[in-house]
Amino acid sequence: MSQLFSNNAESTLSAALSNSATTATVADGSVFKAPTGGDFELLTLLAAGVYEIVKVTARTSNTLTIVRAQEGTTARNWASGTSIFAGVTAGSLASLIANQGTGFSAIAIGDDASATGMRAVAVGELASANFSNVVAVGSSAGSTAANAVAVGAGANVYAAGSAALGYQNAAYGSDALVAGRGVTSYGNQSVALGEGGFIETEGTRAVAIGRNVYAGGPDAIAIGALSDVDYLVAGGFAFGDTAVITDRSMQAAALPVVPRANGVEADAAWRMAGSASVICSAAISLKTLQAYTITLPAGVTFFPEEVGVIVTAASGVTGQPTLQFGITGTAAKFVAATETVGLTAAHARHRFTTLASSDGASTLRAEVTVAATGTTLTGRIYWRGFAVVNAA
């Protein structure tokens, strides 16, 4: 519901108006607004120094629908020819002042909006700009630190120089930027973009981009849905869906591939290049007869150049395991069942570089065909090579 205004609009009653009438007929209604949808215009009836303020809620041609006796005035009987005009009223001015903040050069617009800082702007229901040089726009948006900006319903900034853009975002660290939905950052000089992302207090200069991304440590970077850098880790880089970093390192959860190349692009070879990949299993027991299979994403073919196993834990090893490597349906395609050597301590490795085949595969399979003996022996199976996206 908004108040409408007409500049210097004036007409006269073309028929007498009783003190109970709710419509008035004027000589020229076109000079006034035609309110709809709850909007209104305030007009003043004046004769012989006596006046009444009425609220016009609708107009059809020269007929005004009115609410009588506004702003403490009294409904009266008015004769035909009485002046009716759009004048400045005390109520209009009071409403304007109520929407102006209490700080120097401050502006507050909206129900219960508050702007108490110098040069502060608050726009929206319950919006608050309570520090100098701040902006809060949106329902319940708030800026309570100098030089801060909060835009969006429920967006809030609590530290100087920061900006929160979007629904229910919050910036607690100074000079930080959060944007998206439900994003929170406690880190200074940090950036968090997406939905549900979070940066810890320790995350100074951290970057979190994606859905439900977590960047905990200083200078940490987490990009991709559910990627995570532990809050104790400085400088960790997690890239890709569900990538997780718990030490100062880099993890790319996405499989590096040579991309699909359609047509001939002789002058753009980089568009057809990729990097080598290492695919590694979870730690499995090498004392148990079992097969481990990885299915590659649709349309991706992997060309192995080396396969092997890396020990993650070992004690009291008395007998070595036998392994074979292949694909679904051809268990020994790459390496026939071969006994390993030297797998007696953590980080020991046995690798197979002379493969029976180096053809591409859409599945990768390793099998413990003879179990190790001893107290403990676990390891991670790996395949090193390159992946190619199949041509269209």
What is the DSSP track for 3-39? EE--TT-EEEBSS-B-TT-SEEEBS-GGGS----TT-
pLDDT of amino acid 109 = 87
Q: Is the pLDDT of residue 188 over 50?
A: yes
Q: Is the pLDDT of residue 104 over 70?
A: no
One fold for 3-93 and 98-252: no
* Residue 243 banded pLDDT, cuts 50, 70, 90: confident
- The CA distance from 236 to 20, in Å, is 77
pLDDT of amino acid 298 = 87
Which CATH architecture group holds 277-389? Sandwich (2.60)
What is the pTM assigned to this prediction? 0.59
* Residue 369 banded pLDDT, cuts 50, 70, 90: very high
* Residue 262 banded pLDDT, cuts 50, 70, 90: low
pLDDT of amino acid 95 = 65
* Residue 100 banded pLDDT, cuts 50, 70, 90: low
Domain 3-93 -> CATH class: mainly beta
Q: Is the pLDDT of residue 268 over 80?
A: no
- Provide the greatest CA pair distance for the chain: 117
Q: Is the pLDDT of residue 102 over 70?
A: no
Mean pLDDT, to the nearest integer, of 38-43? 92
Compute the mean pLDDT over every residue in the chain, rounded to the nearest whole number: 90
Say which residue, 323 or 130, is predicted with more confidence.
323
All structural domains of the chain with their residue ranges:
3-93, 98-252, 277-389
**Hey, which bits of 212-299 come out as E strands?**
214-215, 221-223, 228-229, 237-239, 244-245, 250-252, 257-258, 277-280, 284-285, 290-295
pLDDT of amino acid 280 = 93
- The CA distance from 82 to 78, in Å, is 7
Q: Is the pLDDT of residue 19 over 90?
A: yes
* Residue 177 banded pLDDT, cuts 50, 70, 90: very high
Say which residue, 3 or 86, is predicted with more confidence.
86
Mean pLDDT, to the nearest integer, of 114-123? 87
Residue 270 per-residue DSSP state: G
pLDDT of amino acid 50 = 95
Mean pLDDT, to the nearest integer, of 167-179? 94
How many CB atoms are closer than 10 A to CB 359? 12
Domain 98-252 -> CATH class: mainly beta
- In angstroms, the Cα distances linking 227 to 82, 117, 185, 224, 243 are 74, 39, 16, 5, 5
C-alpha dihedral over 268, 274, 275, 279, to 10 degrees? 180
The residues, ordered by sequence, that sit 6+ positions from 360 with a Cβ below 8 Å of its Cβ are 301, 302, 303, 388
Mean pLDDT, to the nearest integer, of 69-77? 95
**Sheet harboring 163-167: ordered strands across?**
107-109, 121-123, 135-137, 149-151, 163-167, 177-181, 191-195, 207-211, 221-223, 237-239, 250-252
pLDDT of amino acid 392 = 47
For the stretch 294-345, pLDDT in tens is: 999 888 999 999 999 999 999 999 999 999 999 999 999 999 999 999 999 9
Q: Is the pLDDT of residue 255 over 80?
A: no
For the stretch 212-226, pLDDT in tens is: 999 998 999 999 888
Q: Is the pLDDT of residue 238 over 90?
A: no
Q: Is the pLDDT of residue 99 over 60?
A: no
Q: Is the pLDDT of residue 273 over 80?
A: no
Q: Is the pLDDT of residue 33 over 80?
A: yes
